[in-house]
Structure 1
Amino acid sequence: MSSVSSLLSRPATWFRRAGRPGPSRWNTWEPPRADVLGVARTLTSATRVVDVMHLLRSEDGIEKYYTVNPGSAFADGLDSYLSGLGINVLSWEEATRRSFDLAVSCSVHPTMRRLRAPLMVLPHGAGYNRLVTESTGEAAVPAGLSRRELMRRGKVVPKAIGVSHREQIDRLAESCPEAVPYAVPVGDWCFQRITASMAHRDRYRSRLGAVDGRRLVVVHSTWSEHSLLGRHPELPLRLVTSLPADEFAVAAVLHPNVWARHTPAGVLERLGAAMDAGLMIIPPQEGWRAAVVAGDWVVGDHGSTSFYSAAADRVTLLAATGLDELDPLSPAAAFGRGAPRLDPEGDLLAQLLD
């Protein structure tokens, strides 16, 4: 992820800034050398862009701002999330009037061409996997790699397209070859955080009730009708009531889009019976990585958090694969085809212990 910082080290002529205000007598610290804008469209992309922007330090002379690129079906709660962080939040209108040295987004949309800044786009999950024809206009191209999202009037909009693995560049070459020169392998900062947090596993387990010999099962569900919750809405309740409470703790990680689309109150109401039986709900803003680190078993689907859990060597069983909405060439699809299955109607305890 050092590529974000490296963009700021490019020659001054690479940027579009015409000038910068001089020092103000009201400042405590020296004026910034660079202004960077974080752009969010959904709560998912917002949490990821905030995470990435932490790599750019104020003490290095970087002033950070944030804005919401409007229009997503999953934008509910986004403004309140950003305003609650105590950060500089600009309206989209103001953000498109001002100039910045760099804009960073963990999603991409054609309207981001209006930004007066070099744009770097990054994935907001474990790479580019999901087929979203409403965004891409193509049935076989994953969101984030499509010509509709990346190009405008024959020109590539982003100055840099961050990929977590070079195989994504191979798929980009098929979907939008003009964008390949702008692809930059940046690794996966999110997974780096997970691996760096392994030293805190015991502390996370204690907070999630995995003490005195209890083991932790984490239920992961992405969004859509193909997800674990979409296919098997009663599975969290079945798990928490089927597993001996003195031996197992059960937590649930739900994709932020579930919360945004169905409202926090709606989500908690639907899971009320399971919560009454002991299910712990991880907030959508933060905490899911700690659950990945703390868990013993994962019951999941084709979402990135299940994929990250398997990559972190957690025992992972899939209750839904979502292959109908995945790029068949993506690692997530390969994972869905090959990962062990959990039968939601079968003996859940026996399947975990098998």
Structure 2
Amino acid sequence: MTRDGRDWEVPELKGIRAGLVVVHTIPSATRLWPIYCMLAQANSGVVWDFVVAPDRYNAPVLRFLADRGVVVVSWEDLVKGDQRRYGIALAAARDGLELLRMPVIQIAHGALREKWTPLSAGAGVLMPRTRYGTGVDFGVHQGRTVARYLVQAHRDEVDALDPELRSIAWTLGDPMVDQFDGHLDMRESFRADLDIGCGQRLVTVTSTAGRHCLWRDWPELLHRLVTELPQHRYQVIAILHPHLWYAFGEDLLNALRPSLRRGLRVVRPDDDWPVPVIAADWVLGDHGSVFHYATRSSAALLTAAFHHPSVYPGSARSELGRLVPSLSRMDQIEARLIEVAHPDVRRLYAHAGERLSSEPGAFAANVRRLVHDVLKVREPTVSACLPPLEVPRLITG
């Protein structure tokens, strides 16, 4: 149904259906890209265009798409023109979706929706905040939902939605959970590709973005790791949220240089960050999605700068922050790593990853089925599979 209440006719041109991939930021781009690959490779009867939607962090997206050689249409031309070419749109963020006329499938760009809504700057009166991505302020515009289908990773997420959004909620699973699970048996291969030597241990460090995150609240931790851990026994790889790169720019790289010279390696912001998580012996992280996804790996976990006030109370992320042991500034790092690797400690959070998806292994099939139902086109007979992870390029000293 269109915004004015009329049924949306699925367009067709010479037997070809067309879909639109709406990309806001690098995190949404890396979320949607494997989904697009899965859909495009399975059915040549559906063509896909991309569009860069409005967002304060959307500047790097055009280069991301240009590097991959896809068709990119202008956002301004799209919203002002005839959108009837497209029978469906995929998105992993919110801004501007109310301007689209075709049915939109909206997917979370990270693990679940378990943080508070961001607190804006300014001198206005503070108002009660809500759980991000679950309220009518997020999903409704002028009396109509901005998406036709709101994809949830776990059935428990549906209960957290405002009643107005539950009718459009579809529990389809999580693509990153499925990619993690599908590559766990490649851990040793990934370690070899990352040049982790025999007898060496890998410590992977993750930071989200925002006012409170590991990089902003404990920026010296990376340097402590590469200086206090013996280099012949340990390697350290950092995964920094793409928004940190685009917020701080060259200043971020300059701040990292002393650690890079001591052996730190850093994943580029648009590469496959799950690989060094799967390969890790330990993952240190804050309250971001990457650390939550690390619960699917075999690594021992240790929180660092986990900002509990940023996480919605009672959520799976909140429970994760309570169960996983923390690293303090007073700790001797190697001794703490050895301590938290003990099986008795790891049993405390052994089941934390189960709350990331109630449809493990089924996301690709579920989404492909929904997309083809919306487009009113026969689904391919080949199995729905997300593309394999690639070993990331690493920034070194």
Shorter-chain TM-score above 0.5: yes
Q: What RMSD over aligned residues (CA atoms) do the two structures have, in Å?
A: 1.9
Q: Percent identity?
A: 28
Q: 2:9 aligns with which of 3, 16, 26?
A: 16
- The answer to whether the 8 A contact 2:180-2:296 is kept is no
**CA deviation digits over 1:17-53, x for unaligned, max 9?**
3x4333xxxxxxxx52x21111111111111111222
Distance 1:145 1:138 in 2: 17
Letter in 2 for 1:181: S
Unaligned runs of 5+ in 1: 1-12, 23-30
SS at match of 1:251: strand
The 1:232/1:101 distance shift into structure 2, 3 A limit, reads same
Distance 1:139 1:75 in 2: 28
Letter in 2 for 1:83: A
Give the equivalent residue in structure 1 for 2:114. Answer: 129
- 1:199 to partner: Cα distance: 2.3
The 1:68/1:142 distance shift into structure 2, 3 A limit, reads farther
Distance 2:117 2:253 in 1: 27
Distance 1:152 1:287 in 2: 34
- 1:73 to partner: Cα distance: 2.7
**Bigger CA drift: 76-85 or 241-250?**
76-85
Q: 1:87 aligns with which of 46, 50, 70?
A: 70
- The answer to whether the 8 A contact 2:207-2:285 is kept is yes
Unaligned runs of 5+ in 2: 1-5, 121-125, 340-397
Give the equivalent residue in structure 1 for 2:165. Answer: 179
1:216 pairs with 2:202 = yes
Give the equivalent residue in structure 1 for 2:275. Answer: 290
**CA deviation digits over 1:153-172, x for unaligned, max 9?**
22222110000001111110
The 1:134/1:228 distance shift into structure 2, 3 A limit, reads closer
The 1:37/1:138 distance shift into structure 2, 3 A limit, reads farther
- 1:138 to partner: Cα distance: 6.7
The 1:149/1:249 distance shift into structure 2, 3 A limit, reads same
Distance 1:297 1:234 in 2: 18
Distance 2:288 2:18 in 1: 33
**CA deviation digits over 1:177-229, x for unaligned, max 9?**
11101000010111110111122211211122322110100010111231111
The 1:142/1:45 distance shift into structure 2, 3 A limit, reads farther
Give the equivalent residue in structure 1 for 2:361. Answer: none
- 1:134 to partner: Cα distance: 5.6
Give the equivalent residue in structure 1 for 2:191. Answer: 205
Distance 1:330 1:35 in 2: 38
SS at match of 1:346: coil
Letter in 2 for 1:171: A
- 1:101 to partner: Cα distance: 1.0
Q: Which has the higher contact order (CA 8 A, sep 6+)?
A: 2
Distance 1:353 1:119 in 2: 47
1:236 pairs with 2:207 = no
- 1:246 to partner: Cα distance: 0.6
Give the equivalent residue in structure 2 for 1:279. Answer: 264
Distance 1:120 1:186 in 2: 11
Q: 2:132 aligns with which of 139, 143, 148?
A: 143
Q: 2:49 aligns with which of 65, 71, 74?
A: 65
- The answer to whether the 8 A contact 1:73-1:261 is kept is no
- The answer to whether the 8 A contact 1:221-1:227 is kept is yes
The 1:161/1:81 distance shift into structure 2, 3 A limit, reads same
- The answer to whether the 8 A contact 1:208-1:249 is kept is no
Distance 1:95 1:193 in 2: 32
1:74 pairs with 2:67 = no
1:253 pairs with 2:201 = no
SS at match of 1:299: strand
1:36 pairs with 2:25 = no
Distance 2:259 2:291 in 1: 20
1:158 pairs with 2:147 = yes
